[in-house]
Structure 1
């Protein structure tokens, strides 16, 4: 049988001093109990304690770790994007294009991992007062999985960044060269312009140099527009070309006074030489007359045209000299230089022809007087080659012995031609020279083979 409740005793039965006193005590107490709730406001979280709060704390820790991984991946991606932009600004090679494609693919992986993280954060409000332990556990699990995925993508990004080292190093090297190269081009153009002004101040014209310098003006405009518009490799190449061409203009401008003085000197020198050759060519006819009188036709026939050729060459040289003088006066330096080169070639040819006539008479006189000297000279060359061929051997190599034997026979035939009444001394001299050349070839061959064997 249930136990009967004990009736509550009433303290007061109606109005009176005791009831009023209780009322006065109770109201301040209730107010005091209500104050904390009033000041705490509506955002105060209820305190559950136990397992739910442990799960909430673990979920919050997982959220913080995922946020750190997300921030780290985002920072790495931004840094790597700068590296990719550096490479693409400089390099258009297949490797660089491949790197851009790989970075784009990594970007898609990063987006996927980032969306997974953001979705996990949005799906769970860890600040809810009524967050259940099971919900906090799910949140921790999903946020941990998102963090791990972000970590895996970060590792892929790091491996990719390591592989970019060579491309990035090359790109950074080129970028480091860019500003100095452009500045060098500007300074080279300024130096060329100053040199040109200095030369013109002396009264010399340099129209061709001025035209070459003016042609570089559009290139300077493109350099000033920058690599962003024209590309880093193209700008580097342009800067180097402008520097090279401007430097060439500066050097030529600075050398122009010296060049003018050199042309003046050559004009005088070549005119003097032409006059001297005119005098020397007049002596060819007496030499030919003596050759005709004392030697067979074979000794002088090839010299018959020397007087006429010499006179014609000197006449042409004097004409070219006059043209060179005109070009010098008009300050057409390149034309003057080319014309003087032509004059020099004409005079060299004439000098050789005139000298050949006198040399022919001298050599023929010597061999007519004593042919034995030429014979012994040639025999000595043959014997010297034979000793070399036999050095360290019992028998010579056939490829060495055969041409030396032929040289001996050829010399004997040449000597035999001197036994006639009117010997062809010039033919004899040509034969002995040919024999010595063939012997010298054998000597060079032997030394080359033995030198190779020694190594």
Structure 2
């Protein structure tokens, strides 16, 4: 086969411009092929309406001699390779989109959760990321290795490109399925993270509003003439916390920011509540100052009456009846003096608006006055009880015997013989009462010892009764 000589350009044709056009086609077949190419180029450059008309007439134009079949087996292989390339590109796009969406979910989880399950999820996502990179590299390599737009693309090359692109698409699809399964397992962790993120903005806003409310309440208190320096210091200490809240969870983490917001809201609410109560607290301190001063004055008067009571006790009863009371006047006077000093300190703290100090001092005054009241009352109560038992001890004896008999009946209820655990202390109580009664004989009986013994007997009997009822209640 001889080589076909190269086709000459149309512009260099040797046919003179004035030569007549042949009626039955050119004599040279090369000129026929050149004319076909020019006609095709002209069709491509035509405007769209004219192109439609031209295409309709194309079969007649290409029906002449020298034409060839345009789409052959090579073009079919090219089309299949291009289809494989398009399918691989679609799979690559779907995988890339899924990975981007899933990365947002992973970042949401890691921003909130630092548990072992969350860390394991991140590790698994990183492993999937490496598989995605490998599959993407396989796809990109296959695309870069074959230029499917070349005019001289051979059928074998197109077939090889189709196979490589199909394998790349299959691998991308497999990784996408694994990524989808992994995404479906993130439900619990992602739900927890999204719940915390949903709480974040409202929690921060509540903290800000609580700080604002505390500041406004403090301003109102100061406007009423109250300093509230301690509350102002507590509110100022929350300033750095507000700065950290404003810096956001991206810098400090979602759990820490949530915890900080809740703590700031709680502390600010405490400041606000105390600021609102401050006027009432000041009024209450004023009332307590007046009340405790009045009580101290009354106890001073009562303490002065202890000495005559002790004189009567000494005169009428034996020493054991009053020895433990002989220091009551001195203790009462000292307690009252100390209470008055604390009251003066409390008044100074109130004037300086040191509210915690004033409250603490008033509590000390109250404790001192309570102790003094008990001492003073003990002396007069002792004389009253001793007078009653000296006049008629029978009432105290009968009261105690009744308690013993009632306990004995309870111990025998439903039994033919009493439980030794109950009978023994009751029998001892009977003997103890008899000894106390015997001690009243003589010219100078110790009535106080008699009263303490009968009281001790009644306490023992009460414990036995409680034990019996508890055991029977447990059995029933």
Aligned counterpart, 1:424: 446
Which of these residues, 37, 41, 51, is aligned with residue 40 of structure 2? 37
**In 1, Cα distance between equivalents of 2:186 and 2:434:** 79
Deviation at 1:46, TM superposition (A): 7.3
Aligned counterpart, 2:281: 259
**In 2, Cα distance between equivalents of 1:46 and 1:312:** 129
**In 1, Cα distance between equivalents of 2:448 and 2:38:** 141
Aligned counterpart, 2:401: 379
What do residues 309-344 of structure 1 show as CA deviations (whole Å, max 9, x unaligned)? 101111111111111111111221111111111111
**In 2, Cα distance between equivalents of 1:241 and 1:187:** 13
Q: Any unmatched runs of 5+ in structure 1? A: 1-19
After the TM superposition, which residues 182-331 of structure 1 pair with which residues of structure 2 at under 5 Å, given as runs? 182-331=204-353
Q: Pick which of 366-375 and 288-297 moved more.
A: 366-375
**In 1, Cα distance between equivalents of 2:412 and 2:191:** 64
Deviation at 1:255, TM superposition (A): 1.1
Residue 345 (1) aligns with residue 345 (2): no
Q: TM-score, normalised by structure 1?
A: 0.86
Q: Pick which of 308-317 and 405-414 moved more.
A: 405-414
**In 2, Cα distance between equivalents of 1:247 and 1:368:** 63
**Compared CA separation, residues 151 and 335, structure 1 to 2 (3 A):** same
Q: Is the 8 A contact 1:46 1:129 kept in 2?
A: no
Which of these residues, 437, 459, 470, is aligned with residue 415 of structure 1? 437
Aligned counterpart, 2:62: none
**Compared CA separation, residues 378 and 58, structure 1 to 2 (3 A):** farther
Q: TM-score, normalised by structure 2?
A: 0.83
Aligned counterpart, 1:26: 25
**Compared CA separation, residues 207 and 142, structure 1 to 2 (3 A):** same
**Compared CA separation, residues 329 and 81, structure 1 to 2 (3 A):** same
C-alpha root-mean-square deviation of aligned residues, in Å?
A: 2.8
What do residues 118-140 of structure 1 show as CA deviations (whole Å, max 9, x unaligned)? 22333344445555555444444
**Compared CA separation, residues 303 and 147, structure 1 to 2 (3 A):** same
Aligned counterpart, 1:358: 380
Q: Is the 8 A contact 1:227 1:235 kept in 2?
A: yes
Aligned length: 432
Secondary structure of the corresponding residue to residue 175 of structure 2: helix
Secondary structure of the corresponding residue to residue 22 of structure 2: helix
**In 2, Cα distance between equivalents of 1:396 and 1:56:** 112
Residue 369 (1) aligns with residue 391 (2): yes
